[in-house]
Chains A and B, each alone.
Chain A
């Protein structure tokens, strides 16, 4: 069973479009995160949700809107996509006794043309 899953795995789209990436975890964790990995492999946190409540928002453009329908899901919607949004987006989750440890999904590779 996949602990943290993301869909889609690949996403190719045109500038100006709106797209969503979905994340689900079956670990029973109460905290979920979105990270962005740029073309130089640098990883930076974007958002964090705890029990469906936004906790961390790291100076991300308003075009990015996370949504957490329940503790097991954290989706990322991106409006008016720009070339600079091309990256790999990783979802992660943590919780329980070892809540300092984050488990990552396989990533969604977004290419904006």
Chain B
């Protein structure tokens, strides 16, 4: 069974500071990994994904994540936080058993607040 652990339910940074949101996964096979963002009262928007190409993945809004197999991690970073980055961030894993369905298993989410 797959699982995702997001360290830190709440991360607070100053505007312009580095953003680091941590995600570790457990999977018996090389997984697909995703980061989604949820703004207040909205749906989930895909930030980026890892599907076994480059281990450093660039996403939207200046975010990137690095897949580290040895550490089973997929941490999300952004060099300089903006006020508009304040949101809930979810890391998710889906397995490659494939067929037609890729069930997503989510972490518990990390709320990012950005202070002026």
A48 and B32 in contact (CB under 8 A), knowing A41-B109, A90-B44, A103-B46?
no
Shortest Cβ-Cβ A-B pairs, 5 listed: A50-B100, A104-B44, A43-B106, A106-B43, A104-B43
Q: From A12-20, A79-87, A93-101, give the one contacting chain B.
A: A93-101
Contacts of B104 in A (CB 8 A): 33, 35, 43, 45, 92, 102
Give me the interface of A with B, judged by CB distance under 8 Å: 4, 30-31, 33, 35, 40-45, 48, 50-51, 55-56, 90, 92, 94, 99-107, 109
Give me the interface of B with A, judged by CB distance under 8 Å: 32, 34, 36, 38, 41-46, 49, 51, 88, 90, 92, 94, 96, 99-106, 108-109
Interface residue from A56, A100, A105 paired with B43 (Cβ < 8 Å): A105
**Are A48 and B101 in contact (CB-based, < 8 A)?**
yes
- Cα A31 to Cα B99 in complex, Å, equals 11
Contacts of B109 in A (CB 8 A): 41-43
Contacts of A100 in B (CB 8 A): 32, 49, 51, 94, 96, 102
Contacts of B103 in A (CB 8 A): 33, 45, 48, 56
**Are B102 and A94 in contact (CB-based, < 8 A)?**
yes
Contacts of B94 in A (CB 8 A): 100
- Cα A50 to Cα B100 in complex, Å, equals 7
Contacts of B96 in A (CB 8 A): 100
